[in-house]
Chain A
Amino acid sequence: MSEKNTDASNELVGRANRRGGELVRDWYADLTRAAEEGRGAAYVFVMGSLNEILLGFDLPVVFPEVNSLQTAVRRVAHELLDQAEDYGYSPDICGYVKADVAVQLSKGKHPMGRIPKPSIAVLTNACNTYIKWAEIWERMHHVPVVTIDVPGTREGVTRGRADASFDNDLRYVVAQLHELIATCEQITGRRFDIDRLRETLGYVNRMGRAYRRVLELNRSAPAPFNALTDGTVYLGVANALRGTEAGAVYFEELVEEIEHKVARSIGALGDESYRLAFVGVPCYPIFRRFTEMFSEWGGAYVGSSYLWFASGGLNRDFEYDPQRPIESLAEGVLLGVRDAMDSMFHHDRLLEQMIDHYALDGIVYHPIKSCRTVSTGLADGRRALSERRDVPSLFVESDMMDRRVVSEAQMKNRIDAFFEGLAARRKRRAATPSVLEGGA
């Protein structure tokens, strides 16, 4: 019996996906309990959730983005979009927002359980739609809305602490965190516990360390995980359980699993032919089929910009200093949210580094109608990158929520043509001796 197929190996391989599913289901069960008991939640967003502070007040944390994508994966999003459009929202705005509006109008009814009403909404400016979305809750529920405004990179990619504006920006974020704490104290009637914050920061540090190791391990060939499908499970846990012991343990066990797979050359695909990077947000209305259209050709997603900007900054090589918790948290939020914005606006620079690091054969750009933050600059970034590097790419538009703009047949044609091009390119290269090898 090969080492790949021992019982222990079978138990380990796929454990993170099974466990991730359990954890997310448990999390929704907790939210359902909170809703049934009439407890209010903190509504937050993926890019800068501030879970670190909210956990200290034992506020159930709701990620409406995650709720919305779940409705698409579970194929009920179209009903919710219709409901929100009947209410007055345009077909041309973010589908996540509309699905959430419908959930709110249905008193929290959701395929994963029941979503509690908000007691507070906390948002960053990483996406402008966050701001408009929170304004909707403010009008619907009349709850405090706290903005943590995080100034992004002014020119090019951030240089972190070396940026001229860094000190001014940091003081701004610190002040806003203090104001968030004061608001949480007010709505919960509880005192802020700085030691609890220190503990939470420690868990985030452990999660981040493991998360970065996982991303790095996908440089291996074959890639041990699919950045699109497996990656989405990891992101779910990274956000829902951010700053918890369960979250830290999950990612440390994930490292164990991925290292195990790397050591035994167990790939996410049985037959990895092409190593791809994905740029954008997945096509959730046909999530499985979308992924199959690539895997059928041996296309393995080894990395994605989604694993950067939706990870809450875990992808950045940064650790909190629990000895100066507020300032360090502010620094983490500032750099993490800024990094998320850079990975959307300056994706070409980051992808350029990834080409060699991950031995990419191609890049797939997936702009979507629902998200202009991610999608607006993709065509231009692709143009700029193609002028600098000779890497084939595919540009295929659809949506993350709205199946009305997802054309599976058209998409398949484009994807098939892309892989035929990759195959022809590989054949051409194999037939042409390299100059370095002394060929003519």
Chain B
Amino acid sequence: MRPFPELEDWQAAPLDEVLLQCRDLVEDPELPSVKRFRDEGGKVLGHFQVYFPEELAHAAGMLPVKLRGAPIDPDHAESRFGSYLCSIIKTSLELALNGSLKLDLFVSHPICDAARNLSAIFSRNFEHPSQILYLPQNANSSHTVTYLRGEYARLCADVEAVAGRAITPGALARSIEVFNESRRLLRRLYDLKRSRPWLLAAEDAYSLVALAGLLPRETHNELLAWVLDRLPERDAKREDRVRVVFEGGFCEQPPLDLVRALGRACYVVDDDWLIGLRYLVEDVPATDDPLLALAEAYIERSSYSPVQHDLRKPKEDMLLQRVRGAEAGAVIIAAAKMCEPGLEEQVAYTRALEEAGVPFLVTEFEENMTSFTGVELQLETFVENLLFA
């Protein structure tokens, strides 16, 4: 499948044109790449934030699509919810209710109190099956990996029933290899963000990651490899900008215009945007038991987020590691409006950063915000304080 149908020979196009196409595709609330996949006879598995073992859907020939909300008004979904909720919950349902996203299977995870209701809500509104994948919330039991392997096996049976195709060990091994390639490419992208952030605008880096949740992964791998090979040739000069880490985008996503505003004010050298697509930090080894390998990778070799509880990974320590690893000079601690886990984590983050002497800015965002004047002013003041203090 071509990533951009209207750009037939996209590999002959200039890099800037391809990046523009990437941004357009990410911002398109009609999700055209998913629509095309389904129109061509494919089946779609929609998975809500944060992490999902996409290899299982891929091995059954389904397209795993990350539901990450959208900057749209929840016209139909609003009546399904009360007040005091984050936006992503509403707009993820809206995409399905307004027909932009047609699914064959919906899977959510008990990541937070709001999101754990989504499976029941989808099941009341749609004919297709909807379910919860119970990723473990106790990463520290000796039995966790075994349990998760069993949970993945259960999910496989449900995916097979929807896909109408068995997930064979060979198919799963091949899918793991495709996703290992994806992980390697995404690591390369983040290495570049850290080492030469001037080569790629923040919104372009964001779009390249987000497309992993919208395109068949082989297509995305091809696209990302092509872009990464061309970036070093770019004629871009290093500027005197503050290097920052953005923390708070693990679930609801900031609008691309906000990412752009951040990128204009500073170099975003690391972040947790769409961290679920990058959650496994190493390749998953090829073994006789690929489900066990996937389960082990989730528990033992994964990133962090406010919605995964692991005594070995206090979130504030992990943030400090991220800051040091990226050689960042400051942190933007954000939370989506009404995002309880994100807001709760802010207290621990700010205290740890204060103690470590790392400057930070605390802010809130919403995926469908349209005015950025306030945030830009906050950012400018923050950056000026850092540069000229």
Residues of chain B lying within 8 A (CB to CB) of residue A148: 138
Tell me, in angstroms, the Cα distance from A97 to B340 when the chains sit together: 11
In A89-110, which residues have CB < 8 Å from any B CB? 89-90, 92-94, 97
Using A88-B347, A376-B117 as known contacts, say yes or no to A168 and B151 having CB atoms under 8 A apart: yes
Asked whether, in the complex, the Cβ of A372 is within 8 Å of the Cβ of B81, the reply is no
Q: Name A347's closest neighbour in chain B (CB-CB).
A: B120
Tell me, in angstroms, the Cα distance from A428 to B140 when the chains sit together: 61
Residues of chain A lying within 8 A (CB to CB) of residue B315: 135
In B138-180, which residues have CB < 8 Å from any A CB? 138, 140-144, 146-147, 150-151, 154, 157-158
A340-369 vs B, CB cutoff 8 Å, 1 = contact: the mask equals: 010011101000000000000000000101
Residues of chain B lying within 8 A (CB to CB) of residue A87: 347
Using A93-B343, A155-B129, A380-B80 as known contacts, say yes or no to A172 and B113 having CB atoms under 8 A apart: no
Chain B: interface size category: 35 or more
Give the residue among A149, A341, A348, A376 with the most B Cβ atoms within 10 A.
A376
Using A128-B111, A139-B348, A147-B309 as known contacts, say yes or no to A375 and B119 having CB atoms under 8 A apart: no
Residues of chain B lying within 8 A (CB to CB) of residue A89: 343-344, 347
Residues of chain A lying within 8 A (CB to CB) of residue B143: 171-172, 175-176
Asked whether, in the complex, the Cβ of A152 is within 8 Å of the Cβ of B142, the reply is no
* A interface list, Cβ under 8 A from B: 87-90, 92-94, 97, 125, 127-129, 131-132, 135-136, 138-139, 145, 147-149, 151-156, 164-165, 168-169, 171-172, 175-176, 179, 341, 344-346, 348, 367, 369, 371-373, 375-381, 383-384, 395, 397
What is the distance, in angstroms, from A251's C-beta to the closest C-beta of chain B?
A: 30
B125-136 vs A, CB cutoff 8 Å, 1 = contact: the mask equals: 100011111101
B388 located at the interface, meaning its Cβ lies under 8 Å from any Cβ of chain A in the complex: no
Residues of chain B lying within 8 A (CB to CB) of residue A147: 137-138, 140-141, 309
In B74-109, which residues have CB < 8 Å from any A CB? 79-85, 89
Using A90-B346, A147-B140 as known contacts, say yes or no to A155 and B83 having CB atoms under 8 A apart: no
B197 located at the interface, meaning its Cβ lies under 8 Å from any Cβ of chain A in the complex: no
Question: What would be 14 A-B contacts, judged by CB atoms less than 8 Å apart?
Answer: A92-B338, A128-B340, A131-B137, A131-B309, A132-B344, A151-B147, A152-B134, A154-B134, A164-B157, A172-B143, A175-B141, A372-B84, A373-B113, A376-B81
What is the distance, in angstroms, from A169's C-beta to the closest C-beta of chain B?
A: 8
Using A92-B343, A149-B138, A176-B138 as known contacts, say yes or no to A380 and B124 having CB atoms under 8 A apart: yes
* B interface list, Cβ under 8 A from A: 79-85, 89, 110-114, 116-117, 119-121, 123-125, 129-134, 136-138, 140-144, 146-147, 150-151, 154, 157-158, 306-307, 309, 311, 314-315, 335, 337-338, 340-341, 343-348, 350-351
Residues of chain A lying within 8 A (CB to CB) of residue B158: 154-155
Using A129-B113, A171-B143, A172-B143 as known contacts, say yes or no to A145 and B123 having CB atoms under 8 A apart: no
What is the distance, in angstroms, from B206's C-beta to the closest C-beta of chain A?
A: 25
Give the 8 A-B residue pairs with the shortest CB-CB distance, closest first. Answer: A175-B143, A168-B150, A149-B138, A372-B113, A151-B134, A172-B147, A373-B113, A376-B117
Other-chain residue from A172, A367, A383, A397 in contact with B141 (beta carbon distance below 8 A): A172
Other-chain residue from A135, A153, A179, A375 in contact with B309 (beta carbon distance below 8 A): A135
Other-chain residue from B83, B141, B347 in contact with A176 (beta carbon distance below 8 A): B141
Q: Name B134's closest neighbour in chain A (CB-CB).
A: A151
Known A89-B344, A147-B137, A152-B116; further 17 A-B contacts with Cβ < 8 A: A93-B344, A128-B110, A128-B112, A148-B138, A168-B147, A169-B147, A171-B146, A176-B143, A345-B119, A345-B120, A372-B117, A375-B82, A376-B85, A376-B114, A376-B121, A380-B120, A380-B125
